[in-house]
Structure 1
C-alpha cells in the first residue's frame, strides 16, 4: 500500500464546446461493444464511448464472514455508496472455495480474524455424505437456485443505478495462496458425490482444474458457464471476466473459455464483452494482449502503476489496483490512467470485514477522483479522444483537452489550433474548479497555462 503526501495536484480541462453537465445515474444503455471509432473504450447502444470507473469488493455477490453462515451483505447500501462517488462499474466476484483463510495475504492488511466462510455456491449441497467441512457434499450436476437468483437480482439492481457489472466466472488466486485451500473446493474428491477430482498430480493444490487437463471438470465448467450466460444474457450492463488472478499455466484454458462463451452467446439475444485479467504469479501482459478477450487488466510491467503507457487501442484496458498493488494506489494513478486512455478501477476494502480498514479514509482520493474523472469524460466526445504521445493529456484535437499535471505549481503546455477555448483548472484534492476563463490558441507555438497556485 502506498503512502500519501499532502500536496496539490491539478487537472486542467480546456473545452472549445462545453458539452452537457455530468448526467445523473440512469439505467445502463448497453449492451457494450468495442467502440468502432475509438477501440480504447466500450460504446453503449448509441455508439457513444464511455469511461468505466468504480470500486469493487470481494463479497458483492457471495457473503463472507467469520460466522457460519456469514452475515448477509447489504448490497443496496453498497450501490448507494458507489452512487455517492459517481461510479459506474464493478467487478462482481465469484469465489470457488467454501472458506477463505487470509493468512496468505499481506500481514499489513490482515485483520485479527483470518478465516471466513463463503455462501452461497453455484452447486447444491445434497449429499449423501459429508464434505471435509462437515456439511453435505456437493452435487455438481445440480445448480443452486439461490446463487443464480442472487446473481440475477444484483445485476439488475446495478443496471437500474447505471452501473455496468463484470461477472467473474472463476477465481484462481486462492487456490495458489490459501494453505490447504484445495480441501475447501467443490472439485476435491471428498467434497462432491460425482467422483470428480481436479487434482490430477495430487500435489494438494488442484490447479489443474484451470488447465483443460481433467475432462470431467471442463464439462462441469462449461455447464456452469451456460447457466451463468442463460441467467444474465438479457441484461445490457453485463461483461464477463474469465478468472481473477489465475496461474500462468491457465492461459490456454482461459482462451478456450473466452471462445466458448463467445460461441455460446452467438445463439442468444445479446452478446457481451469478455475479459481476461492479470495472471498471478508470473503472468505476462503479452498473454493478455494476444488473447481473444475484448478487454484486459494488466500487471505492473510496462509502468501501469506509476507511469501508464498510452493505450494504442489494441484492447480496452481496465486497469485495476487489485493487480497493481493488491490494496493500494493513489489519486495520481487515477488521473494518469484516464489521460492515457485507460479505465481505472479500485480494489476497495470497503467495510473492512475481510481485509483492510473500515471505509479507510486514505483511499478517499482514489474513490473521489474516479468519479470526478467520469464527470469530465461525460462532457467530452470520447469517440474522438486519443492520449497524447507525451505527458498526461487526452484530447479531441482542436476541440477538447483533458490534461493532468502531477507536480504542484508547474504549468501545462499544449499545442492548440488557432481558436478560442474555454478552460478550467480543477483541483482533485478539493473537488473544486479553482479558476476558469477563456484563452486563444496559436497553432504556431505552444500555449502555456500557468498553474494558479
Structure 2
C-alpha cells in the first residue's frame, strides 16, 4: 500500500470535478474550443483518455456491426439508448468492402443488411454481384454525408466513437472476398487485392492488408484522406485501421503513421489504433476469464497506453458474465467496449436498434457508468497487494478480488461477493466504507473504520459486490 501513497497519481489535482469523467462534446463545431484538439491520451495517467478540453475520460462502450454501414440502421435510436444508460462510447465499422454482403445468386435466408460503400458504381462492366463495377477514384457523396451525420449525432449525445476504417474479417471468406471492391473483377481501375489468386484478400505480402501491393495501398490512402477530410472537425473520434488484421502489422502501422502525417496540417490530430493504443485483439485482454482479464490488463500497463477490453469475437454470454467482466476491466485500469448483438436488427440476432433483448444488461452497465462518475479512476493504480485474502470460496478455490487505489480512494471488486480482507496498514485516519450493488445499482453504507491495520469486510448482500473505501480529502 505504501507505493500508492507515494505514487505520482496521488498528487494529481484533487479539484477536478467528478463529472469530468463524462464530457459531452459541443454540437457547435465553430465554437472557439472546437477549432483544435481531439480525444487524446491523458498525460498524468496515460492509461486513460482525455477530452479535447483536457478532462479525464474513461470509455464504457456498447456497439454493433452495422451502426454506420447498414443503410437502414437507425443510429440515432441506438445512440439514444446508449445515452439513456449512461454509456459514452461506440465502435463503428466504416468500410466493410462490399455492398450486398452475399453472392447475388445465393443470399442467406436471414440476411438483412445492405452496406453503404465509399465508391460510385459507374462501370463499364458488371461486378460479381451483378451491379456496375466500382470506380475507386470516384467517391460516393452519400457515404461521407452519412458518416458525418453519424459523427454529429454521436457528438450531440455526448458519445465518443472509434471509427474502424477497414474490415479484415470479411476478406478471409472467399464468398465475401469475391464481392469486395478491391477484387480484380469488381473495379474499373485494375486494382487487385489478391494477385496470388488465393481467393482471399489475406496475403500479408501482396494482399489487401499488405505493403507489397502499391495500387491497393494508394487506393486505401485515397480513401483514408477522403475520410479524414470528412470528419476532421469532430473532436470525439479515434481511428482504428482495421478489424481483425492478422496479416501484416507493418501495413497497419504504416497507415497509422500516414494518418498522423496527413493530419499534421489539419485542425485536429486524432489517436490511431494500433499505434497510440493497442487494437481490439491485443494479447490476453479479450477474455471472459476474470482472473486472466485482470492479469492481462496489469501486464499490458507497461505499454503506458489506454487499454480497451473489447468483446468482439468472444461471444455474448449471460448478463452476469458480461457485467462481471466489465467491472473487472474497469477496476483493473481498463476501458470497456462490448459488442452487443442485441443492437443488430434482423432475425439472425433477434435484435433492434434499442437492444431490447438485453435491456437488463445495459441497465447494469449503466450502474457501472454511474459509479465511474463518482470515482477518480484516472488517479488510481490497480494493486493486488491490497487484497490479503477473500473469505468466500467457490468449488474449493479462492474467489479473486480486484483492487485499485489512490491516496484518497480504494475500490475492491468481488466477482462472487462474500468477504475480503484489505491491507489498510499504510492508510491513516478515519475511513468511510460503502458497498455498491452492481445488479441493482444501490449503495449500502458500511460505516466507518480506521486505517493502520488489516481489516476484513463482508458484503451485506449476495452476488458480486463493490467495496468502496474513502479517506478524508
Partners of 1:302 and 1:89 in 2: CA distance: 18
Choose from 292, 297, 301 the match for 2:280: 297
Counterpart of 1:200 in 2: which secondary structure? coil
After superposing the two structures, state which structure 1 stretch, 409-418 or 229-238, moved more: 409-418
Q: Distance in 2 between matches of 1:56 and 1:202?
A: 35
Partner of 1:89: 89
CA deviation vs aligned residue, 1:23-73 (integer Å, no higher than 9, x gap): 88733696111111111111123433211011111111011xxxxxx6x11
Aligned counterparts of 1:180 and 1:240: Cα–Cα separation in 2: 28
- Residue 25 of structure 1 contacts residue 162 of structure 1 at CA under 8 Å; is this kept in 2? yes
User: Quick check: 1:33 aligned with 2:40?
Assistant: yes
Could you tell me how far apart the structure 1 residues matched to 2:165 and 2:257 are? 14
Question: SS of the counterpart of 2:98?
Answer: coil
Q: Is the 8 A contact 2:308 2:336 kept in 1?
A: yes
Q: Which residue matches 1:432? A: 442
The partner residue of 2:136 within 116, 134, 140 is 140
One of 347, 367, 371 as aligned partner of 1:372: 367
Secondary structure of the residue that 1:333 maps to in structure 2? Answer: helix
**Residues 213-267 of structure 1: CA deviation (Å, up to 9, x unaligned):** 2110100000111111111111110100010112x22211101111111111111
Per the TM alignment, residue 366 of structure 1 is displaced from its structure 2 partner at its CA by 4.3
Change in 2 beyond 3 A, CA 1:185/1:303: closer
Alignment equivalent of 1:421, drawn from 423, 431, 437: 431
* 1:185 matched to 2:156: no
Report the equivalent of 2:403.
393
Q: Distance in 2 between matches of 1:45 and 1:302?
A: 27
Which stretch has the larger CA shift, 366-375 or 153-162?
Answer: 366-375
Q: How does 1:213-362 map to 2 (within 5 A)?
A: 213-246=212-245, 248-276=246-274, 292-298=275-281, 301=284, 304-306=287-289, 307=291, 308=293, 309=295, 310=298, 311-312=300-301, 314=303, 315-323=305-313, 325-328=314-317, 330-349=322-341, 350-353=343-346, 355-358=348-351
TM value normalised by structure 2: 0.78
Partner deviation per Cα, 1:164-205 (whole Å, 9 max, x = no partner)? 0111110001111x3411111011122111111111110111
Q: 1:361 to 1:252 in 2, by over 3 A?
A: same
Tell me, in whole angstroms, the C-alpha distance in 2 between the residues paired with 1:367 and 1:347.
12
Write out per-residue CA displacement over residues 315-371 of structure 1, whole angstroms, 9 at most, x where no aligned residue: 211111114x14345211011111000101110111442642336777456423433
**1:4-83 alignment to 2 at 5 Å?**
20=18, 26-27=24-25, 31-63=38-70, 72-83=72-83
Cα pair distance change 1:19/1:450, threshold 3 Å: farther
Gaps of 5+ in 1: 1-15, 64-69, 103-110, 277-291
For 1:21 and 1:437, the matched residues in 2 are separated by: 24
The aligned counterpart of 2:394 is: none
Distance 1:62 1:334 in 2: 27
Distance 1:213 1:20 in 2: 49
C-alpha distance in 2 between matches for 1:257 and 1:59: 24
Q: Is the 8 A contact 1:100 1:174 kept in 2?
A: no
CA distance in 2, matches of 1:240, 1:303: 19
Residues 1:120 and 2:116 aligned together = yes
Counterpart of 2:391 in structure 1 is none
**More displaced stretch, 402-411 vs 79-88:** 402-411
Contact 1:124 1:142 in 2 (8 A): yes
SS at match of 1:235: coil
What is the alpha-carbon root mean square deviation over aligned residues? 2.7
1:99 counterpart SS class: coil
Contact 1:298 1:304 in 2 (8 A): no
- Equivalent position SS for 1:413: strand
**Secondary structure of 1:217's aligned partner:** helix
Secondary structure of the 1:268 match is coil
